[in-house]
Homo-oligomer: A and B are copies of this chain.
Amino acid sequence: MDYSFPRETLWRTASKITISAHLFGILANILMLIWLLHYREGMDLDSSNPYRIFNVHPFLMFFGFIFLIGEAMMAYKTVPADRQTQKFVHMFLNLSALVLGIVGIHATFKFHDKMNMLDMYSLHSWIGIGTFCLFILQWLFGFSLFVFPKASAVTRARLAPWHVFGGRALLYMAICAAETGLMQKFTFLQLTNNRESYLINFLALAILLFGITVDISVSLGRFA
């Protein structure tokens, strides 16, 4: 069987999939806000209500981390500018994700502290912290390789695919962290069939579809 890919078709579809990725990401952000502001207690990192502190965590870990790294991965396609600008946007979005991710992780430790709860025992926390530590390494690796002190063109070309694969694997892991986190909260809230449970499930599906569409969008770019 011939494995040649019809480039033109792939390019056209790639742009449709990139648009879907944006839409799933925006949908997930909207559902997240409806959940936290309407069904839950709202968000405030300095609140006396520990649940308002906790709620900063899911919001920042999706909007501030997953959504931004997804958009950063697609920046080479979506930013209508020269390659240097695209590269800067890619680096800057990932740096913002790093900073907002630290604040988001801080929120959950502060919540555990106020509630005298154990830290770092659940699968969600293991996947989450593992992903975040590897993400910091990936950012430092990317920055030193492609920005400053910047490797030679040959080295960059040799290592670029591993940067891409690393990023895709990290997105995969971050999505798993989000899904397990929502699953954990869902079980703690002892939800079964009600409006809030449907909302959380649709939110989680939107996050999953964001991950899949970003991944396919990035992979398609590699072929074409």
Contact = CB atoms under 8 A, between A and B. Distances in A.
B208 A127 contact: yes
A193 B156 CA distance: 43
Given A118-B192, A172-B212, A172-B215, A183 B123 contact: yes
Interface stretch (A27-35, A42-50, A60-68, A158-166): A158-166
A99 to B, nearest CB: 26
Nearest to A172: B212
A200 interface: yes
Contacts of A222: 222-223
Interface size band for A: 35 or more
Contacts of A208: 127, 172-173, 176
27 contacts: A1-B146, A1-B153, A1-B156, A1-B157, A1-B160, A118-B193, A121-B197, A122-B183, A122-B186, A122-B187, A123-B179, A123-B183, A123-B200, A127-B208, A169-B215, A169-B216, A172-B172, A172-B212, A172-B215, A176-B208, A179-B179, A179-B180, A180-B183, A183-B183, A183-B184, A184-B187, A222-B223
A127 B6 contact: no
A88 to B, nearest CB: 14
Q: What's the number of copies of this chain in the assembled complex?
A: 2
A176 B212 CA distance: 11
